[in-house]
């Protein structure tokens, strides 16, 4: 098998996995139809993935297995920001009483590495491992504000500026205006832009070379994030938290 064929086979295997997720499990025939493969080819991919531990078969139905949990766990444990941020966002959640998260950006989307629940609300908007749009969340906008103009444009072009709520920024010029304000303030706000009825405050975390490595955010219902608490108290807690995380990341 030449290099191009190997690359194509790898891409097809991931298409098979995505088809299984979308279908919430599928047999060989359905999988073949979804990915536009012959049944024999679909079976070969499924059998290989099953052998590797990433697909399980039950009564002729194939589902994505738990092998990816181990990969994700190991990837997260190896992340410097995650290791240094978790103790600090635990303190942040305790002090604020609201769910507190640390996120990174990959492929133009935000990925929460860890969300610690607060004691004032049971609802968690920013779930661990669930991708979030950078332009619609406080943490995401805080990260975008640290990137250069061309990089932000590229992310907007690839990912789009889809409206999650009526308040979501969906215009590139408006987004750049918002990012300038965030750079000036050192803080980003989500005013019901990701989910109606919920607000958020976020700030970026940078490494010793002043490169953004992620962001910290607190999100909660509007009635728990309003007035002075939204504009001063929570922002103060977040800035203190990101400073401490930055110092920990900088330590050998």
How confident is the model over 20-29, as pLDDT tens digits? Answer: 999 999 999 9
Is there a single domain that holds both residue 76 and residue 59? Answer: no
- Residue 55, pLDDT above cutoff 70: yes
Structure tokens belonging to residue 244: 């401490």
Is there a single domain that holds both residue 101 and residue 41? Answer: no
- Give the confidence band of 210 by pLDDT, cuts at 50, 70, 90: confident
Is there a single domain that holds both residue 169 and residue 206? Answer: yes
Question: Which pLDDT score is estimated for 8?
Answer: 82
| Domain endpoint, select from 65, 91, 106 | 65
CATH of the domain at 23: 1.10.10.10
Distances in Å between the Cα of 205 and the Cα atoms of 33, 63, 209, 238 are 45, 37, 11, 10
CATH of the domain at 131: 3.30.450.40
How confident is the model over 136-167, as pLDDT tens digits? Answer: 999 999 999 999 999 999 999 999 999 999 99
Is there a single domain that holds both residue 21 and residue 76? Answer: no
The domain tally of the chain equals 2
| Domain endpoint, select from 16, 35, 65 | 65
Share of the chain above pLDDT 70, in %: 96
Is there a single domain that holds both residue 24 and residue 96? Answer: no
Exposure string (b/e) for 2-13, b if CB count within 10 Å is 16 or more? eeeeeeeeeebb
Is there a single domain that holds both residue 61 and residue 178? Answer: no
Q: Print the domain residue range for 52.
A: 3-65
* pLDDT averaged over every residue in the chain: 92
Is there a single domain that holds both residue 23 and residue 91? Answer: no
Is 136 within 8 Å of 155 (Cβ atoms)? no
Is 128 within 8 Å of 82 (Cβ atoms)? no
């Amino acid at each position: 098998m030449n290099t191009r064929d190997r690359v194509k086979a790898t891409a097809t295997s991931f298409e098979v996995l995505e088809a299984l997720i979308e279908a919430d499990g599928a047999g060989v025939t359905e999988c073949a139809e979804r990915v536009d493969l012959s049944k024999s080819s679909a079976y070969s991919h499924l059998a290989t993935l099953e052998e590797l531990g990433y697909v399980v078969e039950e009564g002729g139905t194939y589902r994505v297995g738990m092998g990816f949990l181990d990969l994700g766990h190991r990837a997260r444990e190896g992340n410097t920001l995650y290791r240094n941020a978790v103790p600090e966002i635990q303190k942040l959640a305790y002090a604020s009483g609201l769910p507190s998260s640390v996120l990174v950006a990959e492929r133009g989307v935000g990925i929460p590495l860890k969300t610690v629940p607060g004691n004032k609300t049971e609802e968690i908007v920013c779930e661990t491992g669930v991708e979030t749009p950078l332009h619609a969340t406080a943490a995401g906008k805080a990260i975008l504000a640290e990137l250069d103009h061309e990089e932000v444009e590229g992310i907007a072009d690839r990912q789009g500026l889809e409206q999650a709520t009526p308040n979501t920024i969906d215009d590139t010029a408006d987004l750049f205006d918002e990012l300038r304000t965030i750079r000036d303030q050192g803080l980003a706000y989500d005013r019901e832009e990701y989910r109606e009825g919920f607000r958020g405050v976020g700030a970026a975390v940078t490494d010793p070379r002043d490169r953004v490595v992620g962001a910290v955010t607190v999100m909660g219902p509007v009635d728990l994030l309003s007035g002075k608490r939204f504009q001063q108290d929570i922002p103060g807690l977040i800035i203190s938290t990101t400073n401490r995380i930055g110092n920990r990341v900088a330590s050998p």
